[in-house]
């Protein structure tokens, strides 16, 4: 009998523990509600509205990240400048800050006591308790995932291809659109999916800035505190299905994953 190296045995045991630690609570969550409970939950217009609110605002956050984050990611990937490491740290900051703190920070800017809040109010832009406020929060928490993903994707493209394009007379924008973007499109889509998935799950910042209109995580919390597990679990299961769909799409688009399949 072939002897198994103790290290690989430890690695296999750790794998089972980690996978079980992640999967078992989710399986139990999905298993407990009956099909009738899930159907009744889906037929509730408030549930569908909350899930759509989460998906639509998260998608909007991803589109905003695409418009403003793509040129920023290109700059970080292709240029070295003084303070670059500091800027990269600032970009990653929303990942580490406790999310209720993010909600409070944005709320402090949106209030009438701050000049930004006063200007927004004069322009008729409502942030607190609005879809606009939700989108701002979700963009804040999702933007780092988009920027880092696209930055890594652009860094993987040989810069000599851009240099050839520039030597043939193309400008910086033309080179980006004709050379860089077509080669980095998969990273752009993956970044948007990551941004959307992160935004869909956001609760702490949203509940401070905009309890209403309800997103799915806020509705799950509201139903759990008011009615308990029985009424919150079906909504949570539907949200798990949404996240699972996003990550299945992510794995399909991930070049490394596809190369191994």
> What is the DSSP code string of 190-201?
HHHHHHHHHHHT
Per residue in 18-31, pLDDT (tens digit) is 999 988 988 888 88
> Is the pLDDT reported for residue 256 higher than 70?
no
Tokens of 25: 């609570």
Q: What is the 3-state secondary structure (H, E, C) of 229-252?
A: HHHHHHHHHHHHHHHHHHHHHHHH
- Supply the pTM of this predicted model: 0.86
Q: What is 35-259's CATH topology?
A: MetI-like fold (1.10.3720)
| H helix intervals, 111-171 | 115-122, 131-155, 159-167
What is the per-residue pLDDT across 24-76, written as a single tens digit (0 to 9) for each? Answer: 988 888 888 888 888 988 999 999 999 999 999 999 999 999 999 999 999 99
Convert the pLDDT of each residue in 125-173 to its tens digit. 888 889 999 999 999 999 999 999 999 999 999 999 999 998 888 888 9
pLDDT tops 70 at residue 113: yes
Name the more confident of 91 and 111.
91
């Amino acid at each position: 009998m072939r002897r198994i190296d103790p290290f690989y045995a430890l690695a296999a045991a750790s794998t089972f523990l980690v996978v079980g630690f992640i999967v078992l609570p989710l399986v139990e969550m999905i298993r407990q509600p009956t099909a009738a409970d899930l159907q009744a939950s889906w037929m509730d217009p408030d549930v569908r509205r909350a899930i759509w609110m989460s998906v639509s605002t998260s998608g909007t956050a991803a589109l905003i990240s695409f418009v403003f984050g793509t040129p920023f990611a290109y700059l970080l990937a292709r240029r070295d400048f003084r303070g670059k490491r500091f800027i990269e740290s600032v970009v990653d900051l929303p990942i580490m800050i406790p999310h209720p703190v993010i909600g409070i920070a944005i709320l402090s800017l949106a209030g009438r006591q701050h000049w930004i809040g006063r200007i927004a109010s004069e322009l008729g832009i409502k942030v607190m308790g609005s879809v606009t406020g939700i989108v701002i929060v979700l963009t804040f928490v999702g933007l780092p995932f988009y920027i880092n993903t696209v930055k890594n994707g652009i860094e993987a493209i040989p810069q000599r291809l851009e240099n050839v394009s520039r030597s043939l007379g193309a400008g910086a924008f033309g080179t980006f659109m004709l050379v860089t973007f077509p080669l980095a499109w998969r990273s752009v889509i993956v970044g948007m999916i990551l941004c959307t998935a992160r935004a869909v799950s956001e609760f702490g910042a949203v509940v401070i800035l905009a309890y209403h209109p309800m997103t799915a995580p806020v509705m799950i919390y509201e139903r759990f505190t008011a009615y308990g597990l029985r009424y919150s679990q079906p909504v949570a299961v539907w949200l798990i299905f949404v996240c699972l769909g996003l990550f299945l799409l992510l794995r399909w688009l991930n070049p490394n994953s596809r190369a191994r399949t």
